[in-house]
Amino acid sequence: MSRILIHMYREHGHLLPTLKLARSLAAAGHQVEYLLTPPWRSFVESRGLTLRPYLEAIYPEWIEGAWARMSRTAREADAARRDRARIDWIVAGGLGDVYRAAAPDLILGDAYDVSVPIAARRLGIDLLLLSPSLFQGREPGVPPLSSAAPWGPDPAARRAAEEAWRRLAEERQRSATSDWYPGYVDALIRAYAFPRDEITWDGAIVPDFPALDQLVLCPSALEFPRPLPQRCHYDVPSILEREEELSPSLAAWLQRSPLVYCAPGSQGMWRAQHDELFAEVLALAERRPEVTFVIAHGTRAMPAPESAPANVCLTGWAPQHAVLRAADVMISVGGLGTVKECLWYGVPIILAPHLNPYDAQGNARRIVHHGLGEIVPEAQLGRSLEGALERALSGVYAEPMARIQATIKTVEASDRGRALVERWLRGEALRDPA
């Protein structure tokens, strides 16, 4: 059996979709370790997996709890200081030292962390990329994953997609002197002697590595209907259905119907713009007393529960799978983890992707394309929410939702992820059966 190191970003949206694959590989007898900072120890070990800690001096076990108690200004300043120290450590060769000590036969690395393929290549370690999002590289006629442009097979839509890529390139060029990230990528390339012809900025969010295979932790059914890149292997199971404990008070709320769930995701502590969505949902709840709303606001400041409308349950955290089992509609900023879980439970989605960076716009466009929900526009968020809610509750999305839900259930019942990894370990080329 093989030694496999999983190295992903330290975020729930990047880590949660890898757990099903990690468990499958471990059950097959492979030695699987997660390379993560100490605050993630309980996340890994509570799921029966193994942590290989690193960056202990920069991210001690207590730091993420401390961030939650800091003011926004202090938290962001502290995180920036630690991130600078992390970057300096990687550029100085620290990641290479960690990889040598781990001595894996294979690294499953985050497609969004450019340091992983760059360091792995320098050491001659085999690598497969894991993408927690849909493919973010460039394809002719397909808008960037970060773009709000709709997709279509007609010439006008293809021209619009290419125009979106052109604008993205111009934006990057304008910000090149003020943005730290291009300098970091260049420093990595020089420090690890990475060939410049094996990396390209033709990625919607981060640079792309065109020669590397990717396991995409998402069903292909969510994609726009087109031939997918051969190096992208979709339909890797990634949804772990969870039985979660409910408090008696929340369980009582979940008995009500119709039920709307609003949760912007695990990064709310860093995204003050989510407050706009909470304010509009609370205003909508006041206008619609016959509808029950459960709002999971994370660490964002909210009204005291007793001052909220009587049909609103405010909670810092909610067991998302338990709530989605009861929900009739989800209001989301478009993170892919939440999108996939909504499709798993057959819950239509109202999306405000302008409040979320990175892939939310592309995710939302695919939801609309398949008739699974709708986008509320930035300029009319408050006015549009109520109409979107009416349509979602009317059942207009029920038929397409049932179709994609059945497809996802089939994907998630497979062991495709483990099969692909073991094929790679045997030295076989990966090919999608389609």
**HEC sequence for the chain:** CCEEEEECCCCHHHHHHHHHHHHHHHHCCCEEEEEECHHHHHHHHCCCCEEEECCCCCCCCCHHHHHHHCCHHHHHHHHHHHHHHHHHHHHCCHHHHHHHHHCCCEEEEECCCCHHHHHHHHHCCCEEEEECCCCCECECCECCCCCCCCCCCCHHHHHHHHHHHHHHHHHHHHHCCCCHHHHHHHHHHHHCCCCHHHCECCECCCCECCCCCEEECCCHHHCCCCCCCCCEECCCCCCCCCCCCCCHHHHHHCCCCCEEEECCCCCHHHCCCHHHHHHHHHHHHHHCCCCEEEEECCCCCCCCHHHCCCCEEEECCCCHHHHHHHCCEEEECCCHHHHHHHHHHCCCEEECHHHCCCCHHHHHHHHHHCCCEEECCHHHHHHHHHHHHHHHHCCCCHHHHHHHHHHHHHHHCCCHHHHHHHHHHCCCCCCCCC
Give ∠ CA 245-342-321 in degrees, rounded to 5.
5
Answer positive or negative: Cα dihedral of 57, 62, 68, 73.
negative
Between 112 and 269, the higher pLDDT residue: 112
pLDDT at 303: 60
Q: Is 235 left (phi over 0), alpha (psi -120 to 50) or beta?
A: left
pLDDT tens, 64-88?
889 988 988 999 999 999 999 999 9
Compute the average pLDDT of residues 10-26. Answer: 96
Q: Same domain for 283 and 139?
A: no
CA atoms in the 13 A half-sphere facing the CB of 433: 6
Q: Same domain for 209 and 331?
A: no
pLDDT tens, 328-342?
999 999 999 999 999
In a domain, 432, yes or no: no
Compute the average pLDDT of residues 380-402. Answer: 94
In a domain, 127, yes or no: yes
- The helix-helix angle for 336-345 and 360-369 (nearest 10°) equals 30
In a domain, 29, yes or no: yes
Q: Same domain for 29 and 151?
A: yes
Omega of the bond leading into 182 within 30 degrees of 0 (cis): no
- Give yes or no for a contact between 365 and 149, defined as CB atoms under 8 angstroms apart: yes
Q: Same domain for 130 and 276?
A: no
Distance between CA 232 and CA 3 in Å, rounded? 23
In a domain, 400, yes or no: yes
Q: Is the pLDDT of residue 379 over 50?
A: yes
In a domain, 28, yes or no: yes
CA distances from 266 to 14, 167, 337 (A): 11, 30, 10
Q: Same domain for 302 and 201?
A: no
- Give yes or no for a contact between 54 and 86, defined as CB atoms under 8 angstroms apart: no
pLDDT at 245: 85
Q: Same domain for 259 and 230?
A: no
Average pLDDT, rounded, for the chain: 93
Q: Same domain for 254 and 398?
A: yes
Q: Work out the pLDDT band at 256, boundaries 50, 70, 90.
A: very high
259: amino acid identity, one letter: L
Q: Is the pLDDT of residue 269 over 60?
A: no
Q: Same domain for 273 and 399?
A: yes
The DSSP bridge partners found for residue 407 are none
Q: Record the tokens describing residue 219, joined without a space.
A: 């069903």
Q: Record the tokens describing residue 253, joined without a space.
A: 């709320």
In a domain, 147, yes or no: yes
Q: Record the tokens describing residue 107, joined without a space.
A: 């690294």
CATH of the domain at 333: 3.40.50.2000
Q: Work out the pLDDT band at 242, boundaries 50, 70, 90.
A: confident
> Using CB atoms within 10 A of its CB, is residue 198 exposed (0-12), middle (13-18) or buried (19+)?
middle
Q: Give the domain extent around 215.
A: 3-237+414-425
Compute the average pLDDT of residues 5-30. Answer: 97
Q: Same domain for 265 and 208?
A: no
Count: domains in the chain = 2
- Give yes or no for a contact between 319 and 245, defined as CB atoms under 8 angstroms apart: yes
Q: Same domain for 206 and 261?
A: no
Distance between CA 345 and CA 328 in Å, rounded? 10
pLDDT at 266: 61
pLDDT at 272: 65
In a domain, 178, yes or no: yes
Q: Same domain for 29 and 110?
A: yes
In a domain, 430, yes or no: no
Residue 347 CA, chain-centre distance (Å), reads 18
Distance between CA 103 and CA 14 in Å, rounded? 23
Q: Same domain for 282 and 177?
A: no
| Listed range (139-143, 174-178, 224-228, 308-312) with the worst mean pLDDT | 174-178
